[in-house]
Amino acid sequence: MHIQVFDNELQAGQAAATLIAAQILNNPESVLGFATGSTPLPAYQELVRLTQNGILDWSRITTFNLDEYVGIPADHEQSYRAFMMKNLFDKVNIKPEAVHVPNGVAEDPEEECLAYERAIRQTCGIDLQLLGLGRNGHIGFNEPDTAFTTLTHVVDLTDDTIDANARFFEKSSDVPRQAMSMGIGTIMQAKKIVMIVTGASKARAVRSMVCNPVDPNCPGSVIQLHANTVVLLDRPAATALNYC
């Protein structure tokens, strides 16, 4: 695990964009895994800038998103597909059929997860997976005590995760109680992992992930076992590392 600390979240995001851009330039047919939320936004803004400046070409890129809420249609403003279209995909020259996000209104969510996992494997796997880290150490929607071998699956969200996502909805009761998420096993099959963590509220989770032994109670700690991982922190998120 290679850790880099930056002065602020903008610099951390731009560093992530640099790594993703390098992947695209080195392999124009890359398969990329993306995450949602406020943390990766600076990275997506930089990727858009690089694309609009003619540096990046997405025409042969394939993408898979980590997760999607169950019960939220793709055109809902809080769906993760809508988030990705608004903040990245609508602004770059990626082919619509190359964008993969779980179908939140699939008739059978469990079958949708199986199909999603098959689709990832049919591409020969994800070359670079972008991750964030939840306050309770979750990655994707893999909550504490999720088995490290888990593949794409339906998840019951914890109260902590529901509370963290409530700011995106009118009221907390509107937040879905389930999601479909790549499993930890799926994530660990990526050839490279880039994690961005920003903000003081994540400092304790960062410390658990980095300083403590690998533990299912902190799902993010599993990346200690990955051979090619970069963790990008801003200074507030890195504060607790002084006490490792």
Residue in 9, 46, 127, 143 annotated catalytic: 143
pLDDT value at 72 more than 90 = yes
- pTM of structure: 0.94
Annotated active-site residue 138? The verdict is yes
- Quote the percentage of the chain above a pLDDT of 90: 89
Residue 68 banded pLDDT, cuts 50, 70, 90: very high
pLDDT value at 92 more than 80 = yes
pLDDT tens digit string along 129-169? 999 999 999 999 999 999 999 999 999 988 887 888 888 88
What average pLDDT does the chain have?
Answer: 95
Residue in 136, 142, 165, 234 annotated catalytic: 136
- pLDDT at residue 38, as a whole number: 92
In DSSP notation, 57-100 reads: --TT-EEEESEEETT--TTSTTSHHHHHHHHTGGGS---GGGEE
- pLDDT at residue 128, as a whole number: 99
- pLDDT at residue 171, as a whole number: 79
- Looking up residue 188, the CATH number of its domain turns out to be 3.40.50.1360
Residue in 67, 68, 112, 234 annotated catalytic: 67
Provide the β-strand partners of residue 195.
131, 231
For residue 212, give every residue at least 6 positions away whose Cβ sits within 8 Å of its Cβ, in sequence order, or none.
Answer: 218, 221
- pLDDT at residue 165, as a whole number: 80
Give a yes or no: residue 61 inside a domain.
yes
Residue in 9, 46, 87, 138 annotated catalytic: 138
Residue with the two structure tokens 């980590």: 66
- pLDDT at residue 242, as a whole number: 82
Position 188: which residue type?
M
Q: Find the domain containing 181 and state its range.
A: 2-239
- pLDDT at residue 75, as a whole number: 93
Mean pLDDT throughout 16-31? 99
pLDDT tens digit string along 196-205? 999 999 999 9
Annotated active-site residue 153? The verdict is no
Give a yes or no: residue 244 inside a domain.
no
Annotated active-site residue 67? The verdict is yes
The number of distinct structural domains making up the chain is 1
| Residue 24 exposed, middle or buried by CB count within 10 Å (0-12, 13-18, 19+) | buried
How far apart, in whole angstroms, are the C-alpha atoms of residue 35 and residue 43? 11
- pLDDT at residue 173, as a whole number: 82
Annotated active-site residue 136? The verdict is yes
For residue 64, CA distances in Å to 53, 67, 81, 134 come to 24, 9, 10, 20
pLDDT value at 224 more than 90 = yes
- pLDDT at residue 182, as a whole number: 98
How far apart, in whole angstroms, are the C-alpha atoms of residue 219 and residue 136? 9
The encoded tokens of residue 116 equal 């999603």
Give a yes or no: residue 221 inside a domain.
yes
For residue 92, CA distances in Å to 35, 83, 142 come to 17, 14, 29
